[in-house]
Structures are given as C-alpha cells and as structure tokens.
Structure 1
Amino acid sequence: MDESPGSLTSLRERNRLLVLDTVRQHGRISRVGIARATGLSRTTVSSLVAGLLADGVLTESDDASLPTASRGGPPATPLTLNPEGGGLLGVHLRHTDIRVLLTDLSGNALGERYREVDVDHRPDEALDFIAGTALDLVATVGRDAGRIFGMGVAVSAPVRARSHTLNVPSMLTGWTDVDVAARLRERVGMPVHVGNDANLGALAEWTFGAARGVQDLVYVMLSDGVGAGLILDGRPYQGATGTAGELGHVPVVDGGYVCRCGNRGCLETVVGARALTSAFTHTRGPGTTISDLIALLAADDPGALRVITDAGHMIGQALSGICAMLEPRLVVLGGEVAAVGRPLLDGVRHVLTHRLPPALNQGMTLTTGHLGDRAEALGAIVLATHQTSAHLLTP
C-alpha cells in the first residue's frame, strides 16, 4: 500500500490525526463541528469518525446532545476521545532526574514515576529505568500494552529536526552516538520519538496549559539548564537544524563562568537552578534547593529576593532581542525555577518594559506556566500523539 507523502493513504492518515486533534481541542464536538473546524467534507469526516469509533479511539458521548445548525433538525451527537481507548507514555530526561508519565488519549495522568539519576553520565542506567518503569506503569494501571500507542521522550539537548537524534557534542558527552529512540524501542516494543525538552514544554503549554489558543509564543524552561521553545504562526519552530531556542547559551556576562557548552557567561550559568542555589552556599550550606529559595521568598528574605530579581533581569535581557524580532503574543516561564513566582516575573517584566518599544509591550503578556514540572513530559505525550501512526492512525 502506497504511504508516500502524496499518496491517498498518507492523506487519510493526516486527516485522521486532524480529526483527533480537533476532538482533543474541543473536548466534545459533533461531526458537523469537526467538518467546520477542519475544512474537511462531511462525508470524509463521517468516514474517518466511523473508523475511529470502530477502533475504540473515539466514543459517542452519553451527555446531552449538541444542537444542529439547521432549524428543526435532530440534535447532533457529541464525540469525545475514549478514555479507555488507549494510552501514551511521556518521559522527561533532565540532567539530574527522570520523570515517566502515563496518560490516556486526552492527556489525563494515569500514573507517574520520578527518580533522581545522573542522566548526563549514566545513559544505560537512565534508559533501563525508563523502560522498566514504563512497562511497570502500564501493568500497574491495568492497561493493555497493545493499546499504548507510543512513547515521547523530552531530552535536555538539541535534537536534529530530520533524524530526531541528539545533537550532543560538548553538551551530554555520555550520550554521544546513543540512539535514544532505537534503544528504548527495543526495550518497550512501541514507537518512540525524541524531542528537545524546551520545545516540548512549549508544545504542552500550547496544547493543555497557559498558551491554549495563542498562535505566537515563547516558552522559557528554567531548570538545571535553560531553554526556549517557540510557537510561531500556530506552528512549532525549531530552526534549520533543530537547535533554535538555545536561550541558555546566550552570553549575558562578559568573562563569566565557563558553561558546559564551552563558552563563558551563558545565561544558564547565571539563572540555572544550580547557579541560583549556589549563591546561598556561604550562608546556608551546599544543600540549598529551589524549594528552600521559595520558602525564603515567602518569608521576605532580602537575599533571596535580590537573587531572584537579578535572575529575572538577566532573563529579560536575553529575551528582549527575541521579543523585538518575533513579537510574540505571550511569554511563558516554566520549569522548576519558575515556581519562585512573582519576583522572577517582576524582574523579567522590568527589563522588557524598559528595553522594548511600548507597542510591543502592550501587545505581549508575560506569565508562568500552568503545567508545572509535568510540562515537558506532557509535551512528550503530544509528540508521541503526533508522530505515532503505526497503531493509532493507520486504517
């Protein structure tokens, strides 16, 4: 069967995914509503919906029916994603820990596991944990492994756009030449897809969180590393080689600390989680955490307020050029550092207000993400949904 990009089979698969995305976005929607939202003909929509109902991916809702556009016509039966129709796995591989998340097709969490691991230097241990945990989650929740349609993996490194392999020289030296997707696919027996964690965090907030309905946005992931994900004109943007958005490696301090990328004074060396907590080593010891910083801010500690406000200023400095060039409607701060809240937002806002023309500031909103520390794993779920076709999309 011809599955080349221009074939009828390929077109049908894309249309099925379009129908699924439309149902996911609306929650409940009729066949007529799907046709209007997608531009597909009613005949095409009816055929695709029939197949998705037969596969158990969609279900007809038992709730009150939706009204039809035509007067006197019968009410339209709403369609929803079937919570029992299947599942997806999302993984976030940070530098120091791993999160594995199992969801239904609507993105609702069914199970979750977390573990601290030296991911940078122990790829075999990290991959073994992911595979074992994923299969255990599926068994514990009681899902049919054959209905888990795919796994997405968010990694703290650039990912080559075409091959979806890591672009890691000098970034994650232990992962050089490691084919993450292939290694995990062998262990879990399902399609596996890999993406940069900041890009996937942006995708998650755009799909489920603070950026729903926004067509132009910048998502800033503030964690051990610092990255940015871009949605431009309603589409994720990754650049020519998949490395767009490496905000953490924008130099902000002349002659600053050496960064793991090899340069000096990168934003990550100033506002990354380790940089912020290390500022308190001489007064609170080496064990200070972001949670400790949040507690200090709640107690109006002047040192914590100064550190976080300064961090906000540095982030605003790095963002100002991006915002001036791209004119995003929304800037979302996510990652564990964003949990410190308003002092960080105020620091970023102060710099953007003074560095950007008034017209740009008036049209742009700055906020924190809604998905917390699950954002990147949920973005990996979205990636798996969009990329997996072997089980979910093929008629």
Structure 2
Amino acid sequence: MENSGGDLQRLRRLNSLASLRELRAAAPLTLAELARRTGLSRASAGEVVGDLVARGWVAEVPPVQGAMGRPARRYRFRSDAGHVLGVDIGVHKVLAAVTDLTGQIVAGGRTSVSPDVPREGRLAAVDRAVTACLSMADLSPADVWAVTAGTVGVVDLGGRVARVHSLPDWAGVDLAAHFRERFGAPVRVANDSKLAALAEQRLGVARDARDVVYLQVGRRPGAALIIDGRLHHGFGGASGEVGLLEAARWLRMAEHLERHPRFAEAPPEQAAGAVFAAAWQGDAAAVEAVARYAADLAVGTAAMVLTLDPELIVLGGGFSRAGDVLLEPLRRALEPLCLRMPEIRLSELGENCVVLGAACLAVDEVNRLLLSPDDPFLKLS
C-alpha cells in the first residue's frame, strides 16, 4: 500500500486505516506483525502507529510481568476511543445502547410503551431511553460519533417511516430528523429486521455465512437479506418486505396460534407463547396450530430462498425462543418448496439483536468517514 502512489496525505490515511483494521481484528500486535499484515515496511508501520498513539486511536500494551529479556512492544486498538448509539423502537418497548467501537455494549436504557401511544408519546419514550442510556454511560450527545435507529415498518433511505401496519400513526415520522435535532453526529435509520440480520452476520450465528435470509418471526414478522456478506437495503430501502405480499399470508399467520381454543381468551401476546409451550408438551391442537403457522411462514421464505439461494436461514424474533417446536415444522414445510434446502439456525442474541445491529451500522458509518476529505475522526488528541 505504501508504494501505491497518489496524494501523500491520502496515502498516509489509507495506511492508518489499514493498520486500524488489523489492530481491531486481532490481539495486540508487535510492529513486525502489523507490518506483515498490512504490507508496510517496519519503519512505515512504526510511523503510522506512533501517529495513531498520539491521536488516541492506539495504545501500547504493558509488557507481561516476569517476561525474560526485553519483549517487543505490542499495540492494541483503543475501542474506547469513541462511542456510538443504537436504538430499537418497537411496538411495546424502546431499547437504547451505547457501545464502543467494537460493538461492545457500555450502557443500555429501556422504556416500555403501549402500542396505542400516539407518535409524540412514542418519540418521547425514545428520548427517555436515550437519555437514560447516555446518563448511565456518563456521556453527552456531543460524545456520540454516530447514531443508528431501528424501527418497525418500511423505512426509506432518507430515514422516514414509509409504511407500517402495527402502529396507528407511525407512518410518515422522520426519525432521522428527530435524532439530528439532538445529535451532531451522522444518523442512520433502518427497518428492525435488517438491523437484526446485520447483528447476526457480525456477532451471531451467521458469522461464517456470506448469503443469508433472516426471518424475524413473531406476531409482526419481517425478513432481511445478507448478500455476499453485506446487508442488502435495496434501491429504496424496502428489500425483504415479502410479508407485505398478501399471497404470502404473513400478515395473518399469527392467528393460527391465537385461535387455539384453550388460549383464545388470552391477550394475543400471551396466547402464542402458551401455544408453543403446549405444542412442546404434545398438545395435538397446539402442534397443528404451529404447523399451520410454519406452513404460511414457509411460503414467503421459499420465495426469498429461490431468489437468493442462501447458505443459511436465521430464525430470530420473539417466536424463535420456541426453538425446535417451530424449527422442525418450518423445515418440513420449506423443504418441498426449495430446489436446495439451506441450513436453518436459531438466533442466540435475544432481545438485544436489533440494538446491536444498530450499533454495528453506526460503527460502519464511523469507519466510512475515516477516509473522508475532512478527516473528522483521525483528529483525536
């Protein structure tokens, strides 16, 4: 890279970015190890690391106590050099999390909210969760380098909710503008299923996969695509919205669970969980209800599988906690519809999946701006 020519300032920035990438991806490295990984000479690696230490991006690791002789100096990426904010805006709750630059959660905030709360009340709940999170992390809005929010509904590339079924007046809200009023940092907004898929690809069960169909299964199902290792947004941000197709039957498939005669009087949020539990215990009507739910889920899933031919399907969302009670019926329903049946794995990230994906996308934004002409982040003191 050091011999690639071009503008000297840009060349130095490229060398710095290459070094940062290697230090972030590995245990502490010596200058010789860093030079070998980046293709720089040892002298150039030393100059780059010295500059990054001065800017606050990199720190020298103290030598191991009791080591014989004079050990080579080792350096690590300072994941605490900056922080990003991820937010998950759901139907019943708002989650916020501050993470370091590796996506590790530093502090979190949660606020419960009712599905029938109007837009202003939901935005106020978002602000409360964010305020609690920043307070716990002892940070101000000025300390946040990038913000990403995930929300139910279809989100356009400008950060506005374009369409949503589960919240009465949420369509049309400009979430990007709402966050920009409070933060001077870059802001991204995306559908919650997309961010959950990104979290699985970076931190979860899809880390070894390049092409993935992610299913967010619950009373409000969603889907997202990872193509060649990258989250696919689509031309207008509406990729993966198979559930909007009436023929896929996703919008009503939860009714198979909610109409179980033993639990029909329970609140819908509780009925589904009770049916999965009854199916696990062998209740014939519950087993049949889960099978019908899985059959409907398989229709839209098959459309994406036949289009993408993924190596992996990840099952996330609230219903994924049902485990094999849902996994096996889905596999049986899906296999006859596919030319090649991909592996199916259950998410292990739990409730934080969307907020972790939001943090990952915010970190990506920081990484993208590292090479901007204004050099906004390599000016740390």
TM range (shorter): 0.7 to 0.9
Equivalent in the alignment of 1:230: 225
User: Any residues of structure 2 matched to 1:355-374 within 5 Å, and which?
Assistant: 355-357=337-339, 360-361=340-341, 364-374=342-352
Q: What is the rounded CA distance, in whole Å, between the counterparts of 1:17 and 1:29 in structure 2?
A: 15
Equivalent in the alignment of 2:244: 249
Q: Deviations over 1:51-95 (max 9, x none)?
A: 54434344344587xxxxxxxxx867352443x333222111123
Q: What is the rounded CA distance, in whole Å, between the counterparts of 1:237 and 1:223 in structure 2?
A: 22
The alpha-carbon distance between structure 1 residues 214 and 171, as it changes in their structure 2 partners (threshold 3 A), is same
Q: Deviations over 1:240-269 (max 9, x none)?
A: 21101002223346xxxxxxxxxxxx3132
* Count of residues in correspondence between the two structures: 362
What RMSD, in angstroms, separates the aligned Cα atoms of the two structures? 3.6
How far 1:201 moved relative to its partner? 0.9
User: Any residues of structure 2 matched to 1:6-17 within 5 Å, and which?
Assistant: none
TM-score of the pair, normalised by structure 1? 0.77
User: Any residues of structure 2 matched to 1:1-395 within 5 Å, and which?
Assistant: 20=20, 23-26=23-26, 49-62=49-62, 77-82=74-79, 84-118=80-114, 122-143=118-139, 146-161=142-157, 163-168=158-163, 174-252=169-247, 266-271=249-254, 275=255, 277-280=257-260, 283=263, 285-287=265-267, 288-357=270-339, 360-361=340-341, 364-388=342-366, 389=369, 393-395=377-379
SS in 1 for 2:314: strand
How far 1:19 moved relative to its partner? 5.5
How far 1:142 moved relative to its partner? 3.0
SS in 2 for 1:167: strand
Q: Is the 8 A contact 1:210 1:332 kept in 2?
A: yes
How far 1:124 moved relative to its partner? 1.8
Q: What is the rounded CA distance, in whole Å, between the counterparts of 1:307 and 1:269 in structure 2?
A: 13
Q: Aligned letter for 2:227?
A: L
How far 1:289 moved relative to its partner? 4.6
* Unpaired runs of at least 5, structure 2: 1-5, 65-70
The alpha-carbon distance between structure 1 residues 130 and 392, as it changes in their structure 2 partners (threshold 3 A), is farther
Q: Is the 8 A contact 1:297 1:305 kept in 2?
A: yes
**Which deviates more, 138-147 or 341-350?**
138-147
SS in 1 for 2:188: strand
Q: Is the 8 A contact 1:120 1:175 kept in 2?
A: no
How far 1:350 moved relative to its partner? 1.0
Larger radius of gyration: 2
The alpha-carbon distance between structure 1 residues 186 and 76, as it changes in their structure 2 partners (threshold 3 A), is same
Work out the percentage of aligned pairs sharing the same amino acid. 26
Q: What is the rounded CA distance, in whole Å, between the counterparts of 1:320 and 1:209 in structure 2?
A: 23
